[in-house]
Amino acid sequence: MDRRLFVKLGLLIGAANSINNDADAAVSSSSKSEAHLANNHSLIDADVIELQALMSSGKLSAKSLTEQYLQRIKTIDRAGPHLNSIIELNPDALAIATALDAERKVSGARGPLHGIPVLIKDNIATADKMQTTAGSLALVGARAPRDAFLVKQLRAAGAVILGKTNLSEWANMRSTRSTSGWSGRGGLTKNPYALDRNCSGSSSGSAAAIAASLATLAVGTETDGSIVSPASLCSLVGIKPTLGLISRDGIVPIAHSQDTAGPMTRTVSDAALLLTVLAGIDARDSATASSRGRATDYTKFLDKNGLKGARIGVTRNAMSSNLRQQAVVDEALEVLKQQGAILIDVELPNIAKYTDSELEVLLYELKADLNRYLAEFGQGCAVNSLADVIAFNEKNRSREMPYFDQELLIKAQEKGDLNSPAYLIALENNHQYSRVEGIDQIMREHQLDALFASTGGPAWISDYVNGDHVIDGFSTPAAVAGYPHITVPAGFFAGLPVGVSFIAGQYAEGMLIKLAYAYEQASKRRKVPTYMAHSLG
């Protein structure tokens, strides 16, 4: 066992013997209550290794931990700050946790996730009492005929699926003027660091919930930015893996050429553990075949000295244009240098050449992929196709479209099939300029281990009138290429979290985890949220 575990063990055992006091009463908006929420987090903010040690010693049970999270959800998510991050709780969570405790006593733990509460985004199918709706009222009533592949992986590992998180409806592929984190079914998720600010999308609920320690781990999904952006805005670690490392089976789709699930956690070590469990070959997703022999135990890359001698390309042309947060980035670069990294200023080429063609591909694939998903997983709801979804939204405009419309869904419906020349040309363009003449080229020319940039700017004020105020971000190159991307907390600007990112070529997750972990351990920039009612800006 890691020796650092025992330094904290005494404090954690004490925390395990008492329920968090802040979960016993509704939380007021006073600064005193906000400070209490921020400071009283020792057990529920613990990482997987620490929790497993407590469970193994008999000082903590999966049932007790699950009960504490459920109480915290009642206090913080349903009341108090009212984060609104969780769209539905699993009514069987306590029974599952109790059964796992009994199993541990008889045969030991299945692995590091045994008895660990996990939240999953509400676009990942579960064949249980919960629904899978992508936040849309159109999918209410749909009952999945089977678990998504990644859900099977979690259950086999002994995880307690605690519930499902809110999201930007249809994974933010409904309108160009959307308010991220809002769904017709779930309403708006608030940022725990400033309740008037946005969490970004579309894995907004997963980000807010883990930042607020409403579970140990969460799974998000990303097409372009939907894991790394909310993670950055909520001071979390997020991994958008190589396309095909994690099966997309049973996930409400946008586009098969970019969609993937991935970990959202408070630490790099937790992200590595979760990624190890989620990865796997799935006969229902042909893209996973290419990961055979590449998926591994990612915890072996948790090396505090992982930055020593690493060649990192600092992509100045992909940094956030918010110059006032440059001090945070400069501090991160200084940490990299102090830890022995070799920093090389580079410019990532040809980003503008796939900006338009990316959307073209997403629209074509949305129509084909969503129709295919609904044919299997849409039984029992009001829609069977994208055309049905559009009609449902129009019929239920007051509930589904009170703030923004559905022009992206309409544009997708107007597209042809996946044999259309326009689609094939756009897809080839994306891969040529994001991969061959993009990330691959710059890394080969400079013999780099990874590329580095700020993940994006700080959270913006949620605005139903004008929609999101996203200025820039570093998600698109890796998203279009289908390459891995990890974001790590780097500090705060105006009281709001800012993350930094490492990206690299196909199946370079191990290298990125090594670099991110070494940076995290040297910097320790994450802070727990304070649930400010209003932002400083």
Q: How far apart are CA 98 and CA 94, in angstroms?
A: 6
Contact 291, 242 (CB under 8 A): yes
* Residue 261 pLDDT > 70: yes
Assign residue 432 a region: left if phi > 0, alpha if psi is -120 to 50, beta otherwise?
Answer: alpha
Q: How far apart are CA 481 and CA 258, in angstroms?
A: 8
pTM: 0.93
Residues 6 or more apart in contact with residue 473 via CB below 8 angstroms: 225, 228, 229, 320, 455, 456, 457
Which tokens sit at 377?
């997983």
Asked, for residue 506, whether it belongs to a domain, the answer is yes
- Range of lowest pLDDT (210-224, 309-323, 376-390): 309-323
CA atoms within 13 A on the CB side of 408: 19
Peptide bond into 202 cis (omega under 30): yes
* Residue 284 pLDDT > 60: yes
> 173 is in which domain, residue-wise?
80-356+427-523
Asked, for residue 499, whether it belongs to a domain, the answer is yes
What is the CATH number for 296? 3.90.1300.10
Residue range 143-172: mean pLDDT, rounded: 98
pLDDT in tens, 437-489: 999 999 999 999 999 999 999 999 999 999 998 768 999 999 999 999 999 99
The pLDDT, as a whole number, for residue 103 is 98
- Nearest CA to 472 out of 457, 459, 452 is that of 457
Total tally of structural domains belonging to the chain: 1
| H and E: helices and strands count for the chain | 19, 13
Which tokens sit at 5?
């575990």
Instruction: Find tokens 């044919």 and name the residue.
Output: 375
* Residue 17 pLDDT > 50: no
Contact 160, 79 (CB under 8 A): no
**Catalytic center residues:** 121, 202, 226
Asked, for residue 184, whether it belongs to a domain, the answer is yes
The CA distances from residue 247 to 159, 221, 368, in Å, are 18, 11, 18
Asked, for residue 459, whether it belongs to a domain, the answer is yes
pLDDT in tens, 206-237: 999 999 999 999 999 999 999 999 999 999 99
Query: What is the DSSP code string of 338-372?
Result: HTT-EEEEE--TTGGGGHHHHHHHHHHHHHHHHHH
The pLDDT, as a whole number, for residue 537 is 60
Instruction: Find tokens 């072996």 and name the residue.
Output: 300
The pLDDT, as a whole number, for residue 535 is 76
List the Cα angle 459/463/468 in 5-degree steps: 55
* Residue 8 pLDDT > 50: no
Instruction: Find tokens 């990303």 and name the residue.
Output: 222
Band (pLDDT 50/70/90 cuts) for residue 63 is very high
Q: What is the mean pLDDT of the chain?
A: 92
Residue range 72-95: mean pLDDT, rounded: 97
Asked, for residue 375, whether it belongs to a domain, the answer is no
Contact 255, 367 (CB under 8 A): no
Question: b/e string for 43-66 if b means 16 or more Cβ within 10 A?
Answer: bbbbbbbbbbbbbeeebbbbbbbb
Asked, for residue 456, whether it belongs to a domain, the answer is yes
Asked, for residue 139, whether it belongs to a domain, the answer is yes
Asked, for residue 530, whether it belongs to a domain, the answer is no
